[in-house]
């Protein structure tokens, strides 16, 4: 065997095992359901979620600001991009949390005290598998009569996701005593722990 090849093999054998093992693939999900503070806060407490980012998608203006989106004239929804490890939590499980904990999918263009199309319920899929999973979840919940009202969640292809301003990121984590958070969003994290104990983690992720 040639000496250069022997030397290369020796180097490779000396590398840590972690370097020789490819990391598991990460996937991304994008959900909208009212103010993004609450959606983000819920997913930051889900095992397997590596990051949750508040932002805007579904509109016609490039790089929109919070003020523009809040006007309701850009077509964007406040949304959250969730990066997760599918070896720990599946997209189907994230959908279950979205529909059962993170928001009320029967409220049209509103969520709690917030009104406007920017607060609409939507799943922004990135591939056909996500589209089918979202449609299946809606069909299953509808057949079960889970809510007693029609599910109005939009299922639409993701175009471009724009991260929101820095002060919106990790808002629940940084402002746990803010009245809006206490009244509208903290109860969702409590419900996550009750409804999905095996997926709940007490520490903040991301």
Q: Which of 35, 82, 181, 199 is catalytic?
A: 35
126 included as an active-site residue? no
Residue 82 belongs to domain with CATH number? 3.30.1060.10
Confidence of residue 206 (pLDDT cuts 50, 70, 90): low
Query: What is the pLDDT of the chain when averaged over all its residues?
Result: 90
In a domain, 9, yes or no: no
Q: What domain range includes position 39?
A: 23-195
Give the model confidence (pLDDT) of 111-122 as tens digits.
999 999 999 999
The C-alpha atoms of residue 123 and residue 16 are separated, in whole angstroms, by: 40
Residue 4 reports pLDDT greater than 70: no
CB 15 within 8 A of CB 21: no
Residue 49 lies in a domain: yes
Cα angle for residues 199, 26, 197 (degrees, 5° grid): 0
Q: What contacts 162, CB < 8 A, 6 or more positions away?
A: 55, 56, 57, 62, 63, 64, 76
- Kindly indicate the confidence band of residue 205, based on its pLDDT and cuts at 50, 70 and 90: confident
Helix axes 36-43, 186-195, angle to 10 degrees: 40
Domains in the chain: how many in total? Answer: 1
Does 18 reside within a domain?
no
107-111, long-range: CB within 8 Å, 24+ apart, which pairs?
107/34, 107/152, 108/152, 110/34, 111/33, 111/34, 111/35
Residue 7 lies in a domain: no
pLDDT in tens, 90-105: 999 999 999 999 999 9
């Amino acid at each position: 065997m040639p000496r250069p090849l022997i030397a290369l093999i020796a180097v490779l054998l000396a590398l840590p095992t972690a370097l020789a093992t490819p990391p598991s693939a990460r996937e991304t999900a994008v959900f909208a359901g009212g103010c993004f503070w609450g959606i983000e806060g819920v997913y930051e407490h889900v095992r397997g979620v590596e990051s949750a980012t508040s932002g805007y998608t579904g509109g016609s203006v490039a790089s929109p600001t919070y003020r523009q989106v809040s006007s309701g004239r850009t077509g964007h929804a406040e949304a959250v991009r969730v990066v997760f490890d599918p070896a720990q939590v599946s997209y189907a499980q994230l959908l279950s949390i979205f529909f059962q904990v993170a928001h009320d999918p029967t409220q049209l263009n509103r969520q709690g005290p917030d009104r406007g199309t920017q607060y609409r319920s939507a799943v922004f899929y990135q591939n056909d598998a996500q589209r089918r999973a979202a449609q299946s979840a809606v069909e299953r919940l509808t057949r079960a009569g889970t809510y007693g009202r029609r599910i109005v969640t939009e299922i639409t292809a993701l175009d471009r996701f724009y991260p929101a301003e820095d002060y919106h990121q990790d808002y629940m984590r940084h402002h746990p005593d803010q009245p809006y958070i206490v009244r509208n969003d903290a109860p969702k994290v409590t419900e996550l722990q009750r409804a999905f104990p095996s997926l709940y983690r007490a520490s903040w992720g991301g």
